[in-house]
Amino acid sequence: MKTNKELYNERLTRIKKAIALEKPDKTPFAPMMDSFCARHMGYTLAQFCFDVELSNKIMIDSIKDLGEVDAASGTSSFAGGMGLIFMCRVKLPGRELPENALWQLDEQELMKPEDYDTIISKGWQAFSNEYVATRMNVDFELLGKTGAFAPIADQRMREAGYPVYGGGVVSLPVDYLSGGRTMAKFMMDIKRMPEKVTEVMDIIMKNNIETMKAGLKAAVDPIDVFIAMARGCPDFYSTKIWEKFVWRYLKEVTETCIEEGIAADFHIDANWERGLDYFKDFPKGTCVFETDGMTDIYKVKEKLGDIMCIKGDVQAGKLTLGTPEEVYNYSTRLIRDMGPGFILAGGCSIPPNAKVENVRAMVAAAAGK
């Protein structure tokens, strides 16, 4: 019988080997999951959101119940802080939403065009402190508790034998500005005042990279930096715009991760097929393409399979409406076709109403059972 420490080391090695494109002893299974854990363990999403210590227990118990999970995607609920990734308000279960509804971004035009000037004159930190305090609906008490409990939550997860898939997190400027301004207003900003937007983006990027580096210094066994890139999808922009307002910053963040010796985890939302060729120049075994099922994973394999690890992509719909057999067969096919640099996971976060037996089918497929 292996100890938790031994299992922890085994799992950590497995994940790191997959990222380095070496052959691990088995395909790692490292799903993003939080809301699923709550429903799996019989709690409401409101309970999960507002009780930080309980959310940590729920995540550990859910992972233990599933068995062979190689890394946790987090250690407690972060729903209360989700808006900070997009500089917009959130609606939470038990607050604005029913007890069991999923937390969601509530996008409104909180940031005004004149704020670009303020950011340029005062800097991002001074602007964002005021912005977060007065315009967003952050529950500071909850956020404070989450921060204070984070080291304990992290330690408890690791003591249970599970590494934490993460270590750093960084948002791209496009997510801050399109979330704060709204997507439509942001699109007009880049048409009306491209140079000003670029100046602001440079300021945000500098700040976020510094914050990311500081976070990495404090992290225990960091595996990767989670790069949030929801609004950066190349399908949303003409090539020229995308290169100037998205790719330039994504490349900068990635190169910083590589310099820091940490894997860059591209958390891909939506269809990035048009942008795949851009990723070809990164050094082999330094990045993870974490995809949600919207980009054809076989095209990712064809273009980038020899360069970076692929993570994904059992779709949320399949986990909710599909059968265990379908999920098992799909997962097994991915393991056969994507490896060895492959980590099995759901496409983005496993939804709260995913069938537990479907998630177990992923575990079984990864274990080769």
Partner 1 sequence: MSKKLVEAMADLEEDAVLAEVKALKAQNVPALDIIAYLQEGMSIVGKRFEEKEYFLSELIMSAEIFNEASQLLGGGMGGAGSSKYGTFVMGTIYDDIHDIGKNIVTTVMSSNGFNVIDLGVDVPTAKYVEAIKQYKPKVIGISCLLTTAFDNIKECIQTLEKEGLRKDIKILIGGGPVDEATCKYVGADHVCKNAQETVEYSKKYMGV
Closest CB 180 distance from partner 1, rounded Å: 14
Contact 180, 111 (CB under 8 A): yes
Query: What do you get for the CA distance between the two ends of the chain, in Å?
Result: 19
CA 55 to centroid of chain Cα atoms: 18
Closer by beta carbon to partner 1, 185 or else 251:
185
Q: Work out how close the CB of 100 gets to partner 1 at its nearest, in angstroms, rounded to a whole number.
A: 8
Kindly tell me which of 207 and 329 has the beta carbon lying closer to partner 1.
Answer: 329
Can you give the binding site for partner 1, defined by CB under 8 A? 91, 97-98, 101-102, 104-107, 183-185, 187-188, 190-192, 235-238, 241, 269-270, 292, 294, 315-322, 348, 351-354
Q: In whole angstroms, how close is the CB of 50 to partner 1 at the nearest point?
A: 19
d(CA 312, CA 308): 13
Q: Which is nearer to partner 1, 264 or 327 (CB)?
A: 327
Nearer to partner 1, 235 or 302 (CB): 235
Given the complex with partner 1, which of 162 and 237 has the nearer CB atom?
Answer: 237
What are the Cα distances from residue 87, in Å, to 82, 106, 168, 343? Answer: 9, 10, 18, 30
Whichever of 90 and 309 has its CB closer to partner 1, that residue is: 90
Look at residue 344 and give its three-state secondary structure.
Answer: strand
Structure tokens at 357: 């037996």
Min CB(291)–partner 1 separation in Å: 12
Q: How far is the CB of 91 from partner 1 (least distance, A)?
A: 7
Which residues contact residue 171 at a Cβ distance below 8 angstroms, ignoring those fewer than 6 apart?
A: 85, 86, 208, 228
CA distances from 337 to 108, 201, 302, 309 (A): 42, 39, 10, 13
In the complex, what is the shortest distance from the CB of residue 295 to partner 1, in angstroms, rounded to a whole number? 12
How many whole angstroms separate alpha carbon 168 and alpha carbon 212? 6
